[in-house]
Structure 1
Amino acid sequence: MTDRSSKVYRHDMGRRRAFDEDEVVRAAVGLFGGRAYDGVSIDDLVVHLGVHRNSLYKTFGSKRGLYLVALRRHLADDVRPLTEALAAATDAATALRLVTSADLGLLLLAAVERAPADEEVAAEVAAALAAVDPA
């Protein structure tokens, strides 16, 4: 009896997530980028991401934890390629076209809304803006 229950316990502990973390983070980038951190509640995340509240907390620790992961994803997937493209741009018109067509919503909202109150966000934003500036 004990052996059987321990197997069930181990199976439950090793259960795979019912959601794709990558998809959830990418969707969170869009949500935070469109509505800002303070404009998104946990209930909004649950509804828009299609993930249970407990799963969000278990995976990301908090709304802020998910926000930081989403911000870093945005910086890696959206801002870094822009920085590289700007560095390779041969004229101002190309650089302007790149910047105006880029999705920088989450970075800009983070700079205005979260960075003044959150040192970790401020550091991420400062590094990203410094990388974009010389380009």
Structure 2
Amino acid sequence: MGRNRTFIESDVVAQCAEIFRRTGYEGTSIDDLVQATGLHRGSLYKAFGSKRGLFVLALRQSARPAIPTDDSTDLLLVALMELAPRDPEIRSISFDILSDAVPTHTPQALGERLLERARETLTDETTPKDSE
């Protein structure tokens, strides 16, 4: 008999979504997700199947808010730029989000957020780090 889960799935998915937003899908390793969640690698695989499985859940979860946040938009941008061109399921989920009855992710809004992310990255890279 297996152990009972000691984690809340939606919390783990949200923690993983933050890593995906920050480092992108390709830039995120299973080790990054293990470290972010505090779960064992085997527990992540058993509960979610794969890194991709976690990303799919994170993307679906981020599509739920009526008003998109920068976080949900960032995850959509990661999906569109990194996975949608080669992954039909991610492409379908992304297009569903973009085709929502209330068009909140306009090309203009996506482009503006993409530029904001680039500026944030530039600011992070040029900000001096504290000396240890």
| Structure 2 length-normalised TM | 0.71
One-letter amino acid of the counterpart of residue 40, structure 2: H
* Distance across 1 between alignment mates of 2:17 and 2:101: 19
Using the TM superposition, give the Cα deviation of residue 119 of structure 1 relative to its aligned residue in structure 2, in angstroms: 0.6
Q: Note the C-alpha offset of 1:133.
A: 6.6
The structure, 1 or 2, with the larger RCO (C-alpha pairs under 8 Å, 6+ apart) is: 1
- Residues 132 and 102 from structure 1, CA distance in 2 versus in 1: closer, same or farther, beyond 3 angstroms? farther
* 1:48 CA displacement: 1.0
What is the correspondence of 1:32-51 to structure 2 with a 5 Å cutoff? 32-51=20-39
Mark the runs of 5 or more structure 1 residues left unpaired by the alignment.
Answer: 1-11, 84-100
Which of 39, 42, 46 pairs up with 1:58?
46
Q: 1:113 is matched with which residue: 82, 85, 105?
A: 82
Segments of 5+ residues of structure 2 without an aligned counterpart are 105-132
Alignment match, 2:16: 28
Structure 1 residues 45, 132: closer, same or farther in 2, change over 3 A?
farther
Residue aligned with 1:76, SS: coil
SS at match of 2:86: coil
Task: Name which of 91, 95, 101 aligns with 1:126.
Answer: 95
> The residue matched to 2:67 in structure 1 has which SS?
helix
Cα 1:102/1:47, change in 2 over 3 Å: closer
Q: Distance in 1 between matches of 2:51 and 2:87?
A: 14
> Structure 1 pair 111/133, CA: closer, same or farther in 2 (3 Å)?
farther
Structure 1 segments of 4 or more deviating over 2 A?
132-135
Give the number of aligned pairs. Answer: 103
Determine the structure 2 residue equivalent to 1:75.
Answer: 63
CA distance in 2, matches of 1:38, 1:134: 28
Q: CA RMSD in A?
A: 1.8
Instruction: Please give the residue correspondences for 1:81-100 in structure 2 after superposition, counting only pairs within 5 Å.
Output: 81-82=66-67
Cα separation, 1, equivalents of 2:49 and 2:103: 35
Deviations 1:47-95 (A, max 9, x none): 1111100000100111111111111111113xxx126xxxxxxxxxxxx
Q: Which has the higher helix share?
A: 1
TM-aligned CA deviation for residue 125 of structure 1? 0.5
Larger radius of gyration: 1
